[in-house]
């Protein structure tokens, strides 16, 4: 069977309990969408890499990287970052720049501020900041509209109790979902491994397949419980194991969000899944044979991703028709996956012209 589902048409977890949410708006201004990187460790205070804790708005992370590289007169490759942060938002994150045996330019802070990059803190560290080393992201969001009602609070409480489907957000798939069509074209002709842009398209294909698998488990309600043969992932950790047999202890740990079932990020390798869980992967490979086979030919390595994520340190304040949300998500989690459970908006459920702006939730 060929791929037929349009990116963004995946089900919600809360609809079975509450029905579809009402319309609402978010990110009317950058200040409505604040993202702060939670690194999990501190720079050591010495070394050849200058680490900068920055705040940006209206810029992508790569824009900020280019500004830092230019002002420090180094190659952009000498500038490190852990995650990609949204453009239409207020975001704070660490960048590092390699300056061996030399101080930072005297007017670096002022020159970066003129580019829209505020330096809030700086410190030295022996090593470059690598991709994906931060622990989490803290989100502070403001939403408005009819969705801000008593049911919003009930939906929020439900998500805090049961977790959030760990869907890849619409920004992964590009305007109107066009990255998926581009990924298919790349896989049809063969992937050039040194092409970073094409690598991002392959990530879009894997993300689409993961969302398709998660949609199947949302449909039958198994996205938040363990099945025999599931590869369980420990909350807040990369630790995983195969559920050979279910027992009361494992079921209870899943219920309290200590363990999560996982889904495959398609590629070459052994998925480890078996039993009841493997049938979802078999169905996925049958429905989307061209994408699965193309990723295997490209040599992309198989991996796992939790089907569910916990809302850590959740906060909700409601006043009149405005709600303010605060929560931590693990690295790689999309705030749009949370928002789509709370309100109806074109950029959250389909790929209209005004696509969710920004980059990954790195």
For position 51, what pLDDT does the model report? Answer: 98
Do 175 and 91 sit in the same domain of this protein? Answer: no
For 27, how many CA atoms within 13 A lie in the half-sphere containing its CB?
A: 25
Do 169 and 293 sit in the same domain of this protein? Answer: yes
Do 111 and 199 sit in the same domain of this protein? Answer: no
Q: pLDDT band for position 353 (50/70/90)?
A: very low
Please check the confidence at residue 241 and state whether its pLDDT lies above 80.
Answer: yes
Q: For residue 243, tell me if it sits in a domain.
A: yes
| Nearest by Cα to 57 from 31, 95, 94 | 31
Question: Which of 309, 331, 353 is at the close of a domain?
Answer: 309
Mean pLDDT on 171-187: 87
Structural contact between residues 174 and 204, judged by C-beta atoms closer than 8 angstroms:
yes
Do 119 and 252 sit in the same domain of this protein? Answer: no
**Can you give the CATH number for the domain in which 71 is found?**
3.30.2350.20
Mean pLDDT on 319-347: 94
Please check the confidence at residue 4 and state whether its pLDDT lies above 80.
Answer: no
Residue 86 annotated among the catalytic residues of the structure: yes
Q: What is the pTM of this model?
A: 0.92
- Provide the 10 A C-beta neighbour count for residue 323: 24
Q: For residue 250, tell me if it sits in a domain.
A: yes
For position 1, what pLDDT does the model report? Answer: 40
Question: Which of 125, 144, 173 is at the close of a domain?
Answer: 125
For position 216, what pLDDT does the model report? Answer: 97
Angle at alpha carbon of residue 96, lines to 95 and 97, rounded to 5°: 130
For position 105, what pLDDT does the model report? Answer: 92
Q: 95: domain range?
A: 41-125
Q: For residue 92, tell me if it sits in a domain.
A: yes
Do 182 and 230 sit in the same domain of this protein? Answer: yes
Q: Are strands 240-242 and 90-98 parallel, antiparallel or unpaired?
A: unpaired
pLDDT, mean over the chain:
91
Instruction: Give the span between the Cα atoms of 338 and 340, in whole angstroms.
Output: 6
In the chain, how many domains are there? 2
Angle at alpha carbon of residue 34, lines to 32 and 37, rounded to 5°: 170
pLDDT higher for 180 or 356? Answer: 180
Do 277 and 216 sit in the same domain of this protein? Answer: yes
Contacts of 134 (CB under 8 A, 6+ apart): 37, 38, 39, 40, 82, 83, 93, 94, 331, 362
Do 103 and 188 sit in the same domain of this protein? Answer: no
Mean pLDDT on 325-336: 96
Q: For residue 184, tell me if it sits in a domain.
A: yes
The per-residue pLDDT for range 30-87, each reduced to its tens digit, is 999 999 999 999 999 999 999 999 999 999 999 999 999 999 999 999 999 999 998 9
Question: Which of 69, 93, 125 is at the close of a domain?
Answer: 125
Q: Give me the catalytic one of 9, 25, 32, 86.
A: 86
């Amino acid at each position: 069977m060929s791929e037929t589902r349009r990116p963004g048409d995946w089900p919600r977890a809360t609809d079975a309990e509450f029905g579809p949410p009402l319309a609402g708006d978010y990110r009317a201004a950058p200040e409505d969408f604040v993202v702060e990187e939670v690194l999990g460790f501190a720079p050591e205070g010495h070394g050849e890499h200058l680490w900068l804790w920055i705040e940006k708005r209206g810029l992508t992370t790569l824009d900020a990287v280019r500004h830092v590289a230019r002002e420090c007169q180094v190659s952009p490759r000498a500038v490190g970052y852990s995650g990609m942060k949204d453009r239409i938002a207020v975001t704070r994150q660490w960048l590092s720049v390699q300056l061996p045996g030399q101080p930072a330019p005297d007017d670096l802070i002022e020159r970066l501020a003129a580019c829209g990059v505020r330096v809030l803190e700086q410190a030295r560290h022996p090593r470059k900041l690598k991709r994906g080393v931060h622990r989490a992201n803290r989100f502070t969001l403001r939403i408005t509209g009819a969705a801000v009602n008593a049911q919003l609070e009930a939906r929020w409480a439900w998500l805090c109790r049961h977790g959030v489907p760990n869907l890849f957000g619409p920004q992964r798939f590009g305007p109107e979902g066009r990255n998926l069509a581009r990924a298919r074209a790349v896989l049809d002709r063969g992937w050039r491994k040194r092409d970073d842009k094409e690598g991002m398209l392959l990530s879009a294909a894997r993300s689409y397949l993961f969302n398709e698998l998660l949609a199947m488990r949302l449909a039958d309600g198994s996205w938040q419980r363990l099945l025999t043969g599931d590869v369980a992932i420990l909350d807040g950790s990369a630790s995983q194991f195969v559920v050979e047999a279910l027992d009361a202890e494992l079921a209870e740990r899943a219920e309290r969000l200590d363990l999560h079932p996982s889904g495959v990020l398609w590629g070459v390798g052994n998925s480890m899944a078996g039993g009841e869980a493997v049938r979802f992967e078999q169905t996925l490979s049958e429905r989307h044979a061209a994408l699965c086979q193309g990723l295997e030919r490209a040599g992309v390595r198989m991996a796992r991703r939790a089907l569910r994520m916990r809302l850590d340190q959740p906060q909700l304040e409601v006043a009149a028709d405005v709600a303010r949300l605060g929560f931590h998500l693990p690295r790689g989690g999309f705030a749009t996956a949370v928002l789509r459970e709370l309100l109806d908006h074109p950029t959250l459920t389909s790929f209209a012209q005004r696509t969710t702006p920004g980059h990954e939730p790195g």
